[in-house]
């Protein structure tokens, strides 16, 4: 019995350390390769004085990368790389680190399931189901974190894009060219949204390297996950092709984005009543019935017992 308790404590300790290392690795890769490229080009002065990554974190990421490379059958798919970029993790070895982390967490899940479920009195079928659930949950934990990061970044870009487009409209109305206006808006947006400013600077670097503005904006849309940028690219291309007013097109587009954001907020508010039904039925309604009808049931029980 004493050996089982010691083994259980060791396995739980290893599981906690491995889970913490996984979260630490995700935080380490939070600074995306986009920002690293901006630092190399000198386009992001605010991030030049940042400290270099910790050597321990680099060693852990190297180990995870080797594990992920060993279990991977080939290069990462475009879908996986796009999802990681949209979550803010961009780099040549991020997919391999991601796969290595998933494998390590799955192994930790096997150890935890073995330590917690094997000594129990559950049936074999129940042990297999519970152990499989723990292993699958640990294996899918990075997917959940990446999904949350993608959703958070996408909502962030959608919140600040209307303001950036308003600034573009003001700059275009004052007679500035689109390239100069884009640079000015990127510098101004850095005060409120550094992520959006970094993406705008990167898109501007692509334009300087010879890419078309529409293509650079489509690449930015794929990196951020904001589909509104595809529409903005189409609006700018049509304005340049047909010679219409750029400021009017940007004004109408900003208004449409605000209306879409208002509709999304109304939709979320309407869904809230449906989402509150389950906690109300599980927690509020039983307590309400107990408080209101409890005394009556007690009196009825006493009357019938006599």
pLDDT tens string 251-280: 888 888 888 888 888 888 888 888 888 888
- Residue 50, pLDDT score: 41
Length of the chain: 306
- Residue 207 and residue 201: Cα distance in Å, rounded? 10
- Residue 11, pLDDT score: 61
Opening angle at CA 71, ends 65 and 76, nearest 5:
70
Phi, psi of 44 (to 5 degrees): -125, 80
pLDDT tens string 94-104: 888 888 888 88
Q: How confident is the model at residue 55 (pLDDT cuts 50, 70, 90)?
A: low
Higher pLDDT, 250 or 119: 250
pLDDT of 45 over the 60 cut: no
pLDDT of 65 over the 80 cut: no
Closest among 159, 154, 168 to 261, alpha carbons compared: 159
Fold classified for 155-271: Receptor-associated Protein (1.20.81)
Parse the chain into domains and list their residue ranges. Answer: 2-152, 155-271
DSSP class of 51: P
pLDDT of 192 over the 80 cut: yes
Lowest mean pLDDT among 39-43, 109-113, 118-122, 257-261: 39-43
């Amino acid at each position: 019995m004493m050996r089982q308790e010691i083994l259980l404590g060791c396995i739980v300790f290893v599981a906690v350390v491995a889970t913490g290392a996984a979260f630490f690795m995700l935080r380490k890769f939070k600074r995306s390769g986009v920002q690293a490229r901006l630092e190399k080009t000198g386009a992001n002065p605010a991030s030049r004085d940042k400290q270099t990554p910790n050597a321990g974190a680099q060693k852990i990421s190297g180990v995870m990368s080797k594990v992920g490379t060993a279990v991977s059958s080939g290069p990462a798919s475009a879908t996986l790389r796009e999802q990681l970029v949209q979550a803010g993790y961009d780099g040549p070895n991020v997919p391999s680190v991601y796969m290595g982390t998933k494998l390590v967490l799955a192994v930790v899940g096997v150890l935890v399931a073995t330590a917690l479920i094997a000594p129990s009195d559950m049936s074999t079928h129940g042990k297999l189901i519970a152990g499989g659930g723990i292993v699958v949950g640990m294996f899918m934990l990075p997917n959940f974190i990446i999904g949350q990061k993608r959703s958070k970044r996408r909502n962030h870009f959608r919140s600040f894009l209307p303001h950036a487009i308003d600034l573009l409209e003001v700059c275009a109305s004052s007679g500035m060219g689109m390239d100069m206006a884009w640079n000015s808006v990127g510098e101004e947006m850095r005060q409120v949204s550094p992520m959006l400013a970094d993406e705008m600077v990167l898109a501007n670097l692509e334009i300087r390297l010879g890419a078309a503005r529409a293509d650079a904006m489509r690449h930015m849309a794929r990196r951020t996950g904001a589909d509104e940028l595809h529409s903005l690219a189409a609006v700018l291309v049509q304005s340049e092709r047909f010679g219409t007013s750029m400021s009017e097109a940007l004004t109408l587009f900003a208004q449409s984005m605000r209306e879409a954001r208002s509709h999304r907020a109304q939709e979320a508010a309407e869904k809230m009543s449906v989402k509150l039904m389950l906690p109300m039925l599980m927690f509020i309604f039983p307590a309400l019935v107990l408080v209101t009808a409890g005394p009556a049931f007690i009196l009825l029980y006493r009357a019938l017992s006599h």
